[in-house]
């Protein structure tokens, strides 16, 4: 499903909006990492574990870049950059202190909370200083809503995954909820990919 | 509470279901709120912009009306006063052509000269009403002193004027606007306030020049001024507002703390000085 926005990006290639390129990169990286993980899982478990470990920092790095580019206000940009770098530093520290390839609920929970916070910053900016008449006519709105819905949907399953790894009922539930969140995100990204940005600007503040 | 009980009993799946549902519900609610609220904000801004455009249109119309009135007044002065005078001179000069008697001619020329003198005086008065020569030559302080003297001459009201720090004059075109505002304010006080005194003062700080008109009659507050300047009829307050905007300055209408007199303050930026 994550390939859908990638395909739609190619279909709308004429319009090279930077945020679309970043999401194209994001979706491609997620797809390739998942594919590589599945590919190496049986025969090369160590490589698969390394890929698994790299997944979160790569994904979150692109998210930081996306929000840093999309947000308009200097303070917000700096807050995203600073919190993102701090998170990545903390993540690298935990790599050495915990077994390779093991799911860390706290780290993933924090990354989702940060994504939620960044999305709220974007929504705040749009409320405080609206830049367009119809917010949903902007691709960025759909991209950020995709991140927001995914983070909101996956937050609780990520939070309990580490402690409930032996609970088969939970794992099924995890699969359903996580898949639902991922599909929702892909659909919202796809809407963003086919949305043409509105030309008319909102009136300036006076 | 239910969630806590579920968590304690180790039944994580309920917590996850309720938690996820709650988070998604909140997220959707927030997004819907943002979409609608943002649209409301935009419509509010558009409405404000339209109102401002309407206001600008009213001011422009007032300014045009004012110009038109001034032109009509000038036309009337020239037509009703200068026209007949010059026609009379023409008559006297024609008479000279008909009557060759030197004594009659002399009398006729003398009369024509008298009328030409009157016409010169009349044209000078019209010109002075357009820009007072005292203001042009000696500045706002002298022009205000002249105006105050004229008001005192009428005897019905006591007027005074004090400029505390006016060593540097305001730029001429701006000085004329300030003078017109003060003239309009004083005119309004004379017409409507039934006050017993008018006192005009000038002060200066590092950033601003302040001109104040005090009087003890019936005056306007800031709210009343803002309401009245936007009503369709009446030009005076609109012209004041328009001039204040052109001067990039502010005007405040308020009542003194002791409630004994009204005060109008014009605040000009210091760079209005020459």
Residues in A closer than 8 angstroms to B20, CB to CB, are 152-153, 155-157, 177
Q: What is the pLDDT of residues B232-270, one digit of tens each?
A: 677 788 888 888 888 888 999 988 877 788 999 999 999
Say whether B19 and A155 touch across the interface (CB within 8 A).
yes
Least Cα distance to B240 among B256, B252, B255 occurs for B252
Say whether A148 and B45 touch across the interface (CB within 8 A).
no
pLDDT(B29) > 90: yes
Residues in B closer than 8 angstroms to A112, CB to CB, are none
Q: What is the pLDDT of residues A5-19, one digit of tens each?
A: 777 777 776 666 787
Say whether B30 and A203 touch across the interface (CB within 8 A).
no
Residues in B closer than 8 angstroms to A156, CB to CB, are 15-16, 19-20, 23
Tens-digit pLDDT profile for chain A (206 aa)?
777 777 777 777 666 678 788 888 888 888 888 888 888 877 788 888 888 888 888 989 999 999 998 888 889 999 999 999 999 998 888 888 777 777 788 888 999 999 999 999 999 988 887 777 778 888 889 999 999 999 999 988 888 887 777 778 888 888 899 899 999 999 998 898 888 776 545 444 33
Q: Determine contact, residues B174/B247, Cβ cutoff 8 Å.
A: yes
Least Cα distance to B178 among B226, B153, B211, B214 occurs for B211
Q: Determine contact, residues A102/A151, Cβ cutoff 8 Å.
A: no
Question: Where in chain B are the domains?
Answer: 1-130, 133-272
Q: Determine contact, residues B89/B112, Cβ cutoff 8 Å.
A: yes
More confident residue, B155 or A151: A151
Residues B258, B263, B264, CA angle at the centre, nearest 5°? 160
> Is ipTM strictly over 0.95?
no
Confidence label for B1 from pLDDT (cuts 50, 70 and 90): very low
Pick the residue from chain B with its C-alpha nearest to A113. B23
Q: What is the pLDDT of residues B201-237, one digit of tens each?
A: 999 988 899 999 999 988 888 888 888 887 767 778 8
Nearest CB partner across the interface for A123, out of B34, B46, B48: B34
pLDDT(B42) > 50: yes
Return the C-alpha torsion angle A119, A120, A125, A131, nearest 10: 50
Tokens of residue A29, six digits: 């990286």
Return the C-alpha torsion angle A87, A156, A63, B33, nearest 10: -120
d(CA A75, CA A82): 10
Which CATH architecture is the domain B133-272 placed in?
A: 2-Layer Sandwich (3.30)
């Amino acid at each position: 499903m994550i390939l859908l926005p990638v395909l739609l990006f190619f279909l709308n290639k004429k319009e090279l909006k930077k945020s679309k390129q970043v999401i194209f990169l994001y979706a491609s990286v997620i797809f390739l990492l998942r594919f590589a993980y599945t590919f190496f899982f049986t025969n090369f478990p160590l490589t698969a574990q390394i890929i698994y470990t790299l997944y979160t920092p790569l994904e979150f790095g692109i998210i930081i870049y996306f929000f840093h580019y999309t947000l308009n206000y200097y303070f917000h940009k700096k807050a995203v950059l600073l919190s993102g770098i701090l998170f990545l530093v903390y993540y690298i520290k935990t790599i050495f202190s915990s077994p390779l390839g093991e799911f860390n609920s706290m780290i993933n929970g924090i990354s989702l909370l940060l994504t939620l916070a960044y999305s709220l910053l974007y929504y705040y900016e749009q409320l405080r200083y609206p830049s367009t008449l119809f917010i949903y006519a902007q691709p960025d709105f759909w991209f950020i809503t995709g991140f927001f819905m995914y983070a909101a949907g996956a937050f609780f399953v990520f939070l309990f995954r580490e402690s409930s790894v032996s609970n088969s009922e939970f794992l099924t539930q995890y699969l359903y909820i996580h898949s639902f969140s991922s599909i929702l995100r892909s659909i919202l990204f796809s809407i963003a990919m086919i949305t043409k940005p509105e030309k008319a600007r909102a009136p300036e503040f006076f | 509470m239910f969630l806590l009980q579920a968590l304690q009993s180790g039944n994580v799946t309920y917590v996850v279901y309720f938690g996820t549902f709650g988070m998604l519900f909140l997220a959707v609610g927030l997004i819907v709120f943002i979409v609608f609220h943002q649209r409301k904000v935009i419509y509010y801004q558009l409405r404000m912009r339209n109102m401002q455009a309407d206001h600008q249109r009213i001011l422009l119309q007032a300014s045009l009306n004012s110009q038109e009135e001034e032109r009509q007044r000038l036309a009337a002065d020239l037509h009703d006063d200068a026209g007949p005078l010059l026609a009379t001179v023409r008559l006297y000069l024609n008479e000279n052509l008909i009557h060759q008697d030197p004594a009659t001619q002399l009398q006729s020329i003398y009369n024509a000269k008298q009328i030409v003198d009157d016409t010169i005086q009349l044209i000078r008065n019209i010109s002075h009403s357009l820009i007072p020569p005292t203001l042009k030559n000696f500045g706002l302080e002298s022009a205000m002193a002249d105006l105050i003297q004229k008001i005192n001459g009428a005897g019905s009201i006591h007027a005074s004027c004090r400029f505390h720090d006016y060593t540097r004059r305001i730029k001429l075109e701006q000085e004329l606007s300030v003078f017109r505002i003060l003239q309009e304010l004083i005119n309004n006080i004379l017409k409507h306030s039934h006050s017993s005194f008018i006192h005009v003062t000038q002060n200066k700080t590092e950033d601003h020049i302040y001109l104040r008109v005090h009087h003890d009659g019936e005056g306007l507050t800031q709210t009343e001024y803002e309401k009245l300047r936007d009503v369709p009829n009446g030009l005076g307050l609109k012209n004041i507002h328009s001039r204040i905007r052109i001067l990039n300055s502010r005007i405040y209408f308020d009542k003194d703390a002791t409630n004994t007199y009204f005060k109008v303050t014009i605040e000009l930026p210091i760079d209005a000085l020459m």
